[in-house]
Structure 1
């Protein structure tokens, strides 16, 4: 039975930058339309929690413009999308399930994550965003997962491939404290996963087949989840609590300052 809890709200006027990959995918209209529903839900839920939320497209802006646009953000969410180009984590191209890479978006999102860690800006990564956190800090990715357990799928319609499965939250992590439970039923559709951890990161959740499902920085207020709390089929408590963690970490940083 879900544990009833109330997510912390954002302070009045707090600005949330929701950083997506691109606002244009003419080559993949069905995929793009579904990604839009996910990103729109992040913005809508954030606004309900009191954030002034804005969507920013990394591939459209590039490194300098995205850094400028997020400079004054109180918190950042890096959402899902295409695979990162493999040279960012020292791996070859040509892996199973490899799709189109957006190099400008990669560079811009990696830069935003690195600055958030350096400055202590609260940041949440979702799916690709979770992987961006790891790669930004020198970690690697598992390039393609098999589907023997039915948890990882990489081809076909994203909506049809969304899979419900359990994750175990690691004790004594901020994520477990924020979600107020030791395990959760989550929804995901991905064919890659975090491999070697980036510098300063620790695992915050595992899937039942042993893949990393969440990470968090040991000192900076940066968390990544492989699953999609913003999917319309996800349990409704997940996204508010994750956004609430951003608000709480931002409040802690202001008190410390």
Structure 2
């Protein structure tokens, strides 16, 4: 198969490139984000890496205007005002509302332009909120989706996700049941317009979303985590690569 990504740009959009007040957390997030950058380069993309909070909405849209594919990465909780909810919930931390606003605008433009987009963890939640959905603000102390009260590098938990057999993600992953690494205390609640839940955990938590017609995907887990099954990140990114190839061929 010819390499259709050789001259293509992948924009990896983070919350921020700097967290001087939380160096341990930032170092861990940077490890995850760097893994996506490295895999994108391995797949032949020219990778643009940008922090949404660092540049704001107008500049983010300008920088990514010509990107062939987009990845919205994990990070902090989305400010509740963007999905019509209140602050003060269990586990609430720092918000980056500038990043929220910019990434929501990015998703909406991707939908309008049919730009292939993948959301990872927070990125899935950004997709859902951008398209009119809401979030369950906290999964509770006994959640199986994150380890609570441990050092940041130990927050990931391992569990299974069942994928809808007819979903595009199942096709790319080659299975309807995947073992994943996750670290999230929130989840999609009301599902956004034209999004479909295509992956669920054993407790019923939505773990993967796809748009019904646009090349927009979200996974609530972290295929880029060092503890994820070998090759899983490449398979998840293949959903973008195939969409890029389809646009080239059209």
TM-score over 0.5 for the pair: yes
Does residue 170 of structure 1 match 2:164?
yes
Provide the C-alpha distance between the structure 1 equivalents of 2:159 and 2:56, rounded to a whole number of angstroms.
35
2:48 aligns to what SS in structure 1? strand
Q: How does 1:3-22 map to 2 (within 5 A)?
A: 10-22=4-16
Provide the C-alpha distance between the structure 2 equivalents of 1:114 and 1:64, rounded to a whole number of angstroms.
13
Check conservation: 2:57, 2:105, Cα contact below 8 A. yes
Does residue 158 of structure 1 match 2:152?
yes
Provide the C-alpha distance between the structure 2 equivalents of 1:154 and 1:118, rounded to a whole number of angstroms.
38
1:81 shift after superposition: 0.4
Which residue of 226, 232, 236 corresponds with 1:238?
Answer: 232
Does residue 196 of structure 1 match 2:190?
yes
Which residue of 113, 117, 128 corresponds with 2:122?
Answer: 128
Does residue 111 of structure 1 match 2:93?
no
Provide the C-alpha distance between the structure 2 equivalents of 1:128 and 1:219, rounded to a whole number of angstroms.
22
Could you tell me which residue of structure 1 aligns to residue 21 of structure 2?
A: 27
1:237 shift after superposition: 1.6
Q: How does 1:59-78 map to 2 (within 5 A)?
A: 59-78=53-72
2:30 aligns to what SS in structure 1? helix
Q: Structure 1 stretches of 5 or more lacking a match?
A: 1-6
Check conservation: 1:17, 1:76, Cα contact below 8 A. yes
Provide the C-alpha distance between the structure 2 equivalents of 1:111 and 1:126, rounded to a whole number of angstroms.
17
What is the Cα-based RMSD across aligned positions, in Å? Answer: 1.4
Check conservation: 2:120, 2:220, Cα contact below 8 A. yes
Compute the TM-score of the two structures, normalised by the length of structure 1: 0.94
**Distance verdict in 2 for CA 1:155–1:194, change over 3 Å:** farther
User: What are the Cα deviations for residues 172-217 of structure 1, in whole angstroms up to 9, with x where unaligned?
Assistant: 1111111110101000111000001000100010011100001010
Provide the C-alpha distance between the structure 2 equivalents of 1:188 and 1:166, rounded to a whole number of angstroms.
10
Check conservation: 2:145, 2:185, Cα contact below 8 A. no
**Distance verdict in 2 for CA 1:68–1:155, change over 3 Å:** farther
Could you tell me which residue of structure 2 aligns to residue 3 of structure 1?
A: none
Q: Structure 2 stretches of 5 or more lacking a match?
A: none
Q: How does 1:16-55 map to 2 (within 5 A)?
A: 16-55=10-49
Provide the C-alpha distance between the structure 1 equivalents of 2:127 and 2:45, rounded to a whole number of angstroms.
23
Does residue 206 of structure 1 match 2:209?
no
Runs of at least 4 residues off by over 4 Å: 7-10
Check conservation: 1:139, 1:198, Cα contact below 8 A. yes
Provide the C-alpha distance between the structure 2 equivalents of 1:203 and 1:105, rounded to a whole number of angstroms.
25
